[in-house]
Structure 1
Amino acid sequence: MILGVGTDLIEIKRMEKACSQGRFVSRVFTETESRQAKGSASKLAGSFAVKEAVAKVLGTGFRSFMPGDIEVLRDSLGKPYVNLYGGAQKRFEEMGLTQIQVSISNTADFAMAFAVGEGEPPARKENGE
């Protein structure tokens, strides 16, 4: 069952500007994400868009966790996937999610991501129970 969806769109030039401040990259991206992107603003923009989309799947935005709690990597064929840590992992479990599927699309100017959270919602307690 689909429990959450999220999407995000970001300008790649905006990511280039943010990445020129080295502190931004180390605060938002894991070491593995940075290494896999090899300095590509386009890849980092796609990863950031995924982080935003996943935060929307989790229904909270970045309130109870930080962008670094969502790690966006690509497999050997380039398919993106996420690893969750800290507050993002906790929210994932609270929602009854079992997996999050993500997709990234890029143009010369924009990176867009879409995320779908699947699972079974926890049973709701009736009043007074």
Structure 2
Amino acid sequence: MIFGIGTDMIEINRVVKACERKTFLTKIYTEQEQKLLLSDIRKAASNFAVKEAVVKMFGTGFRAIAPNEIEVLRDNLGKPYVNLYGNAEILAKEHNVERIHVSITNTKELVSAYVIGEIIRE
């Protein structure tokens, strides 16, 4: 059953520019994400869009969840997936959200992310 959906679109250059500040990187991205960004800084925008989409899925915005409590990584084939920590993990457990499906698409200037939170059992 679907718990919720979330979507976000962001300008890639805006996030890339913000990543020039170390404080932004550590506030927004986990250590694993920061390692991923070393190979392609444009992924910072993709990950940020996913984080925004996840908090929209929960209906909380970043009031209840810190951005670095949502980790966006890629599997061996490049498929994005989400790991939740802290308040994000607690919120997911409270609502029985066991899986978050992620889709990311981008143009030269924009990136868009779409997530679906799925309840496996109630």
Sort the TM-score into its range (normalised by shorter chain). Answer: over 0.9
Structure 1: how far apart are the matches of 2:33 and 2:86?
17
Structure 2: how far apart are the matches of 1:90 and 1:44?
25
Counterparts in 2 of 1:81-120, with a 5 A limit? 81-119=81-119
Quote the offset at 1:63 in angstroms.
Answer: 1.3
Moved beyond 2 Å, runs of 4+ = none
- The 3-state SS of whatever aligns with 1:108 is coil
Structure 2: how far apart are the matches of 1:4 and 1:69?
18
Structure 2: how far apart are the matches of 1:89 and 1:33?
17
AA paired with 2:87? G
Structure 1: how far apart are the matches of 2:50 and 2:108?
18
RMSD value, Cα: 1.4
The TM-score with structure 1 as length reference comes to 0.89
State the structure with more CA Rg.
1
Quote the offset at 1:41 in angstroms.
Answer: 3.2
Would you say the 8 A contact 2:33–2:73 is kept in 1?
Answer: yes
Would you say the 8 A contact 1:4–1:117 is kept in 2?
Answer: yes
Structure 2: how far apart are the matches of 1:37 and 1:67?
16
Q: Tell me, which stretches of 5 or more residues in structure 2 are unaligned?
A: none
Aligned length: 122
Structure 2: how far apart are the matches of 1:121 and 1:91?
15
The TM-score with structure 2 as length reference comes to 0.94
Quote the sequence identity (%).
49
